Amino acid sequence: MDEIDKQIINALQNGFPICDAPYQQVAVQLGLTEQDLITRLKALLDNGTLTRFGPLFNAEQMGGALTLAAVKAPKERFDEIAEIINAFPEIAHNYARNHELNMWFVIATETPEQVRQTISAIEQQTGLSVYNMPKNKEYFVNLNLKA
């Protein structure tokens, strides 16, 4: 990743034009050729520096339901619990965190009822209480990391 790659990453996190030749428009702003921008963007996606390039959808606006939830997984059962939880297709992310509530996951479903069903199924299969923390309000969402 060189300075030009960093400029591309920073510019493209802020949005992308909707016009006939959007790569050309961004390339001009960065002092690159269209082909150079496309080639570098492809390399950044291929090597995993960028996980994605395209529209970012708001799942709830599309009619889906989301929640953040956590469990206290006993150390000796941690891997087993992770395996049970990850096996649900409704689990979008799952992170280990350094707290007594040590496993935090996002449940994404089509309806709120399915969120409740997934939580009950996880409680049943793990024997643990699920701490459900759906958002009451969103103040800000925009992951923008300067390269």
Residues 30-89, interacting with other proteins (CB under 8 A): 34, 38, 41-42, 44-45, 48-59, 61-64, 66, 68, 82, 85-86, 89
Residue 71: name the closest of 111, 114, 113, 121 by CA.
121
137-140-142-147 Cα dihedral, nearest 10 degrees: -140
Q: How far is the CB of 105 from other proteins (least distance, A)?
A: 7
Residue 124 touches other proteins, criterion: CB under 8 A? no
Q: Which of 4, 30, 104, 117 binds other proteins (CB under 8 A)?
A: 104
Nearer of residues 51 and 124 to other proteins, judged by Cβ:
51
Q: How many residues bind other proteins (CB under 8 A)?
A: 77
- Whose tokens are 């409704």? That residue is 90
Q: Which contiguous run of DSSP H or E holds residue 71?
A: strand 65-71
